[in-house]
């Protein structure tokens, strides 16, 4: 697809394909993903162990490759949200978002006046150290920053419609494993209750013309969920892609060479 920022991507149902980074925050990672055809990256702080120093460096790698980055912060704490924004995160993902009060807190923490109450830091990483007027900086930052709310609890599903209606929410993102656990059916993605939760989330995004995203482990599942209405499709993660490709190759080599 044509190059575009996350905000523009979220305003179209054209499929966007990305990859989940939980291990390899290496200098070449942005260019590798860009060359592979990715439209975005999802960079994880919830489960990866990455700290904010790593985020600040990794975001420069993605910027160098012109690859929009979504940073998933570990909590809804103001300092997690605002620091990710100050370091240059274009997209922000929040885990376990359950209700409108939480969404309003997130928007207030990531947006500048008048859209929010984020503390002011200008001519730093998020605006690429460029000078400019306060008014222009606020306007540009508020327009650029893109919010992805994870629906991964029963409460989140119940309030998905109200949350999708809020200005500042750009995408609902299904956290399928945690959602299945919250519903009391861990890993049972074919269970009627899970399917019902997915349908409710899809309906919320359609009603309010918001984007919808999810991580998928296979190409086939990515194609399937696009047919359901998902448009941000994040294919697997760095650890699993490397592991599976390497395991497949080594297994074939061992089998073939063992016969000789």
The residues annotated as belonging to the active site are 47
Note the residue count of the chain. 260
Q: Kindly report the CA angle at 186 between 183 and 187, in degrees rounded to 5? A: 120
Q: CA-to-CA distance for 117 and 60, rounded, in angstroms? A: 26
Contact 201, 179 (CB under 8 A): no
Identify the CA nearest to 41 among candidates 90, 112, 113. Answer: 90
CA proximity to 165, closest of 149, 153, 185: 149
Which residues are bridge partners to 233 per DSSP?
Answer: 17, 214
Q: Are strands 232-237 and 40-44 parallel, antiparallel or unpaired?
A: unpaired
């Amino acid at each position: 697809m044509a190059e575009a920022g996350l905000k523009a991507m979220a305003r179209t149902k054209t499929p966007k394909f990305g990859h989940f980074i939980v291990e390899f925050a290496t200098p070449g990672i942005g260019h590798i993903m860009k060359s592979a055809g990715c439209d975005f990256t999802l960079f994880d702080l919830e489960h990866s162990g990455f700290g904010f120093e790593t985020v600040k460096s990794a975001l420069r790698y993605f910027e160098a490759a012109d690859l929009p980055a979504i940073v998933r912060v570990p909590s809804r704490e103001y300092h997690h949200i605002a620091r990710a924004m100050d370091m240059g995160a274009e997209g922000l993902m929040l885990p376990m978002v359950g209700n409108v009060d939480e969404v309003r807190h997130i928007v207030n923490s990531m947006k500048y006046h008048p859209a929010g109450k984020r503390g002011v830091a200008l001519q730093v990483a998020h605006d690429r150290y460029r000078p400019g007027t306060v008014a222009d900086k606020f306007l540009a930052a508020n327009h650029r920053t893109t919010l992805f709310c994870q629906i991964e609890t029963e409460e989140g599903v119940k309030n998905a419609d109200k949350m999708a209606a809020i200005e500042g929410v750009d995408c609902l993102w299904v956290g399928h494993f945690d959602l299945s656990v919250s519903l009391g059916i861990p890993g049972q993605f074919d269970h009627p209750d899970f399917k019902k939760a997915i349908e409710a989330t899809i309906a919320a995004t359609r009603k309010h013309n918001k984007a919808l995203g999810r991580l998928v482990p296979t190409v086939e599942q990515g194609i399937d969920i696009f047919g359901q209405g998902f448009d941000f499709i994040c294919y697997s993660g760095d650890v699993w892609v490397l592991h599976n490709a390497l395991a497949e190759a080594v297994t074939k080599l061992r089998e073939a060479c063992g016969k000789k």
